[in-house]
A and B are shown apart, each in its own frame.
Chain A
Amino acid sequence: MTIYIPSNMKPKSLISFLALFLISSCSEVETPENVTGLRPIYGTLDDIKDLIQSKDPQPLKNVGKIYIKVDLLLINEAGAGVHIYDNTNKSDPKPLKFISIPGNVDVAIKGIYMYADLGNGLATIDISDLNNIVVTDYNNSYLNDLSQVEPPAHVLDLLNESNKIYYECPDPSKGYILAWEKVTMPKPQCYINR
């Protein structure tokens, strides 16, 4: 497609002309835009126990941080949980379980307890039997009230693709925000400029 631009047009007029052209083309192709953003997971503290589950091993997709405890190798699935491997034989680590923990980035283990961040707080999980894990504590003391208003910074790091990070505007009537999950959504009204 060629656009005829009068040769005597002044730069200012040219910009206006092009702007008009752009505006008109945009309005013709306008479709609802989907973006990758963060969506709150609402619930009560009791719901944490349902979100944290021991599942069959799953493929590694988005590698996060790792953690080792004797012969266990833990690999964080960024924002989703932890892959647990039996690493007794370093030449052949065997997948044992995947523990789903929404919003998870970091873990640490002492004894039979795993401490994991869960978007908006700290979960304590008894992993003495990986087939029957038990959430013994959930503590939201480590994030301030702002976490109910917008996603905390370390969760924003999961969405690093632009300076503008979209998130679904929180609705307090839906309950307490337990975690934020990364999803594709129609462009929401709320965003953070980093």
Chain B
Amino acid sequence: MKTRSITQRIFTLFFIAFIIGCSGESVSPRDSTAVNGSGSGQGGSLARFTIVNNHLYVVTTDALFTYSLEDPKHPVLKNKSSIWAEVETIFSMNDYLFLGTRNGVEIYNISNPNLPSFTSRYTHIVSCDPVIARGDYAYSTLSTGTSCNRGVNRLDVINISNISNPQRTKSITMDNPKGLGLWNNFLFVCDNSNIITFNIASPSNPILITSLSKTYIKSCFDLIVTGDILIAVSLEGVTQFTINQDGSLTLLSTINVE
């Protein structure tokens, strides 16, 4: 018999809920509902979509799809790469895509953006894991959450200075880590119902900052860091913080689930 973690049960309850037609009070929108700007936006560490310049990359469980957005009104499928691992997330850095899979991280080169080419693979035991990267290091959380029935709970630090041969340099045991984000010398991780902060002044060796009080976000599962703002996503809602110079977080607002 498989055992299920509390987090998994929480997810279960969440997903059992039948999506009822919403009939909330309407709120007056701002005067202008126009969307401008030519750039692309930013997803969280659990995203399956990422836009790099003029291409949209989409991962499904077993494939990576490449769309050209040359004509942004009409994406054109350029390539489909089958991936022999259960893919869950995608993250891009420079000329590379990092695919978080249940078996590890697959790295693809997109110097030819229409045709991603396999570069290397970092494998670990079966687990759920988003991945982010900066410079010579990638950080990946492995958790037993959501639909993963096996696995461990830890943060892996992967040296990618030789991109064709990624090497794990450190593993840090955690409670149930999920989404993660980087800001200056800090790495933030949604771990169980807390946002945990690591100092990564030495990128190969994240050090848990124990002097900061943990920020409690019930059932936190993803993070986005944008500018000096951290946005945490949980089953209870979406919470925004200012990130202070010492890595501490100051609450700005919460959009609550009703």
Q: Which 6 pairs between the two chains have the least Cβ-Cβ distance? A: A69-B41, A130-B33, A59-B258, A58-B22, A56-B26, A153-B61
A90 lies within 8 A of B253 (CB): yes
Q: Does A48 contact B (CB under 8 A)?
A: no
Q: Is the CB of B19 within 8 A of A62?
A: yes
B97: interface (CB < 8 Å) = no
Tell me the A77-105 residues at the B interface (CB within 8 Å).
77-80, 85-87, 90-98, 105
Contact A67 B61 (CB under 8 A): no
Contact A68 B42 (CB under 8 A): yes
Contact pattern, B 50-75, Cβ under 8 Å of A = 1, otherwise 0: 11000010101111010101001111
The answer to whether A142 touches B65, judged by C-beta atoms less than 8 angstroms apart, is yes
Given A66-B231, A106-B47, A161-B16 in contact, is the A72-B27 Cβ separation under 8 Å? no
- A-B contact number at CB 8 A: 228
Contacts of A72 in B (CB 8 A): 35, 41
Number of chain B residues whose Cβ lies closer than 8 Å to a Cβ of chain A: 74
A26 CB to nearest B CB, Å: 22
Which residues of A approach B to under 8 Å, CB–CB?
Answer: 36, 56-63, 65-70, 72-75, 77-80, 85-87, 90-98, 105-113, 115, 117, 122, 124, 126-131, 136-137, 139, 141-143, 152-154, 157-163, 181-184, 194
Known interface pairs A107-B49, A111-B72; A67-B43 also in contact (CB < 8 Å): yes
Q: Report A-chain residues with C-beta under 8 Å of the C-beta of B240.
A: 87, 90-91, 93
